[in-house]
Structures are given as structure tokens and as C-alpha cells.
A and B are shown apart, each in its own frame.
Chain A
């Protein structure tokens, strides 16, 4: 195995594109190094992106935020403006692992590890985030929900790297939230995760919403029917019940040691409803 720590995105792409064998991007390493050490993968080349300035910073951009792919969870949590604008995204990223893991783990890595249970991804999908991808043919943007295609597999092509995640400008009276179910209070893999983002008009009527679910399909899914249940309502009890039903209906989970299909389908509705309540309270400035 060879280790490289380029200082520009261009050089990182050249390295990733040039190697004949398996090349892997190292961001926080909290998934990658575990996979290497447990012999699940044996890369020929590791490209550490943490020396690339643009991948290590959070910048405001057109009223939104551009978060470098190698920004750690701890850094996200310490960024006050980001936390104020997108509390759901930050709380989702900060749910991942211990303090030690937060010092290293990144949303770029969480996205590209492509786990269906990735905690930050449903929050990012609900937020309408896009991934900026840099590759041999230049840059392109992709909705975050289109990055993972199956467990451990992304739509990225040879030589492509997620450089940053962009969160859009927040409309007034907006709020987001992420909730997950785990069988203990901390540090576990989501059995179900639910992210909700919504915007209200001056009369408290929901004008825009996005709902995303984790750990209930082969990848994190956007659930347009659940969002439709909220839009045009005041996010009242009836709308929340319709949202929960739509969320449950969208699930196509597996049975595993962490939860049954039936349990996941039920809990997806419950969590989506609760996350919507928190997003609503935040949109109302409560």
C-alpha cells in the first residue's frame, strides 16, 4: 500500500485516476481504516485529502454553506452559524460515534462509505444538499441522494472524489431535524433514521418539505409522498399521521440482528413524525 497526501484537488484526482489497482480516499478514516484492518479491503493506494485546504474548511456560499469533504464532526458542531441554519444536519453528523470518532469522522466519508444507515445522510438529503464532485473531467454537482447506489457502492466514477457538500440558502421560517432509533442511548448504528426539513409561510402553512429515511432500504431514500403530506398543511396532527403512513409505506427494509422489517417500517413512521414536530418547532423559532 502507498500513502499520498496531496495539497490540491487536482493532484488528488490525478492520483485516484492514475492507479491501476484499488485506490481509496482517506478523509477521517473511521470507516476506511476499520475496513483495511479487518481485511475487508486491501487498497494499493490511499489518498489522504486532509491536506487540501478547500476540503478542510466551511465557507458561506450564496447564503448557504460549502462544507469541505474532510471537515470533521467536531468542527461542524463548533460552527455556530451552520448549527443555527441547519441544526438537523449538525445533530445528525454529531450523533456518529464517540468524541474520539467525532474528532475524525466526516460527512464526506459518511456519504461515500454508502451505508444505508449513515446518520448524516438522511439529514443532508432532507436539507436538499448537493455533493460537489471533482474528477478527471472537472467538477459536477449531484444531489446527495444520488451518491450512494447500494450498500458500500457509490455512483462516483474512477478518479472522482467528493470535494464538498453544499447546503442551500435557508428560507425564513425553516427548520430541520434528524432522529434515529438505536437500542441504547449512544454510539450505535441506526436501526432507522429519519430526516425532515420544512419551510412555513407567514400563516404557518408548510410551503416546502423534504423527508428522508435511513436504514430502511439499500440506501438512504427521499420520500416525496411524505413531504406532500406536509405541504399545504399547518403540520397538524392529521398531516403528521399522513406523513407517518407515507414514510412507513416507502420502506423496503431487511430483517437483521438490529431490527425486523416490521419493526423498521413502524418506527420509520414514528420517527418521521417526531422529526417533523421538531423541524416545525424550529421553523416557528421555538
Chain B
């Protein structure tokens, strides 16, 4: 029933690469990333913008990709957790999350990494309070957050050294 009409053609940039896709008007950016493009790093936790597991960066701002339509990405620049590492070299945040055991089940981790990178891009030397505020939109039901905060502090220190 009018299915062809509702398909939206989108040209966008994801992790630096030009990408084109067709999506339904109802589909979220999260649906597109996971189901059409095979970028399954972003997770659907709640689907209502509360948990942050689907965090991605769009035009320099961290958003919940479950609350963005796939169609809205036209002409934008999207960064997902898959864009953090450089080839085989993990991003300092990823490395510190491993070293500090800042994850258990791992479902929230891609969202935390993306949100933490967005935080450090704006504020390379955040206080603990700023880190906790900056990551307040990301829920973790395993770690109790402390190891995540320590990992972000350690990554920030390393990144400041350059």
C-alpha cells in the first residue's frame, strides 16, 4: 500500500565514507545502521532516548540514533562506534575501557564510547563531575559506572599527552 512512495533515498557520510541507502520513512537511523548497513555497534536498549546505547554523533553532536529518522541523515556526517578505531589501532577510550574493565555485558559500551569521545572532543580535560554529567544519558546496569569514569579519565590524560 504505497510502499514505494514512502521509500526515502538518502545520501550521507558515515565514518568518513559516502553512503547511500533507501529507507522507509518510519525507520530510525538506528534501524538503518543496524539492519541496512551492518553497523551493529549501536544497540537498541530502550528505543525511547533514555538509555544512550544507540548513541552516535551527527554533525558533531551526540544523539540517540533511535530518536533520529534514517531520512534525516541526508547530507549529514554520522560517526558511529565503528569509526573510533584507526585500522587495527583502538581509540584510547577503547583501550582504556579494556584496561580498566569498564564493561561487563558490553551492551551499553558502544554508546558510552561515542558519548565519551563527544565529551572529550569538546572538553579534553573534564572533571569527574563533568564526566558524570556528560555520560548521564548513558545507562549501564553492570559496572556501577565507577570503572567507566576512571577509564574516561585515563583516556583523557593519555589523549592530552598526544
A residues lining the B interface (CB < 8 Å): 1-3, 5, 26, 29-30, 33-34, 36-38, 46, 48, 50, 72, 74, 97-101, 103-104, 186-187
Contacts and interface: CB of A to CB of B under 8 A. Distances in A.
B67 A36 contact: no
B134 to A, nearest CB: 6
Candidate in A1, A5, A33, A48 with the most chain B CB atoms within 10 angstroms: A33
Given A3-B25, A5-B74, A38-B48, A100 B62 contact: yes
A98 B25 contact: no
Contacts of B138: 98
Candidate in B47, B49, B71 with the most chain A CB atoms within 10 angstroms: B49
A35 to B, nearest CB: 10
Candidate in B8, B52, B72, B119 with the most chain A CB atoms within 10 angstroms: B72
Nearest to B69: A3
A30 B67 contact: yes
B105 interface: no
A98 B28 contact: no
B102 interface: no
B137 A33 contact: no
Contacts of A29: 67-69, 72
A97 B136 CA distance: 9
Interface residues of B, number: 32
Contacts of B25: 1-3, 46
A98 B47 CA distance: 15
B69 A99 contact: no
A30 B119 CA distance: 21
Given A2-B5, A3-B69, A48-B72, A99 B26 contact: no
B29 to A, nearest CB: 10
A280 to B, nearest CB: 27
Interface of B: 5-6, 8, 24-26, 28, 47-49, 52, 55, 58, 61-64, 66-69, 71-72, 74, 115, 118-119, 133-134, 136-138
Contact of A99 (B24, B28, B66, B115): B115
B136 A33 contact: no
23 contacts: A1-B6, A1-B26, A2-B6, A3-B6, A30-B49, A33-B68, A34-B49, A37-B28, A37-B66, A98-B49, A98-B136, A99-B115, A99-B118, A99-B119, A100-B55, A100-B62, A100-B137, A101-B49, A101-B64, A101-B67, A103-B58, A186-B133, A186-B136
Contact of B63 (A46, A48, A50, A104): A104
